[in-house]
């Protein structure tokens, strides 16, 4: 399964958004309606899903879905 598909699965579950709304260019806060608590929970869910640790300084840079996908791909999954 592609990283994007796995990220999308987590985002849909965490933010209760329509899967069609989750695109690479979607911004987590502006487009998907996440608030700061949602973002924290999303990061935690992503860490669990991909078995990685995302430092707060890096999490702050994850604005769009493509940012998340690229970051996880860089970690080597």
**Cα(73)–Cα(13) distance, integer angstroms:** 21
Q: Is 56 known to be catalytic? A: no
Helices (H), the chain: 3-15, 36-50, 56-59, 65-74
Catalytic-labelled residue, pool 5, 18, 31, 35: 35
Q: Give me the active site residues, please.
A: 35
């Amino acid at each position: 399964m592609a990283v994007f598909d796995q990220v999308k699965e987590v985002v849909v579950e965490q933010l209760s958004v329509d899967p069609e709304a989750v695109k690479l260019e979607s911004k987590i806060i502006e487009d998907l309606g996440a608030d700061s608590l949602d973002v924290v929970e999303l990061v935690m869910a992503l860490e669990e899903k991909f078995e990685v640790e995302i430092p707060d300084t890096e999490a702050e840079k994850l604005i769009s879905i493509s940012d998340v996908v690229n970051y996880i791909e860089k970690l080597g999954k």
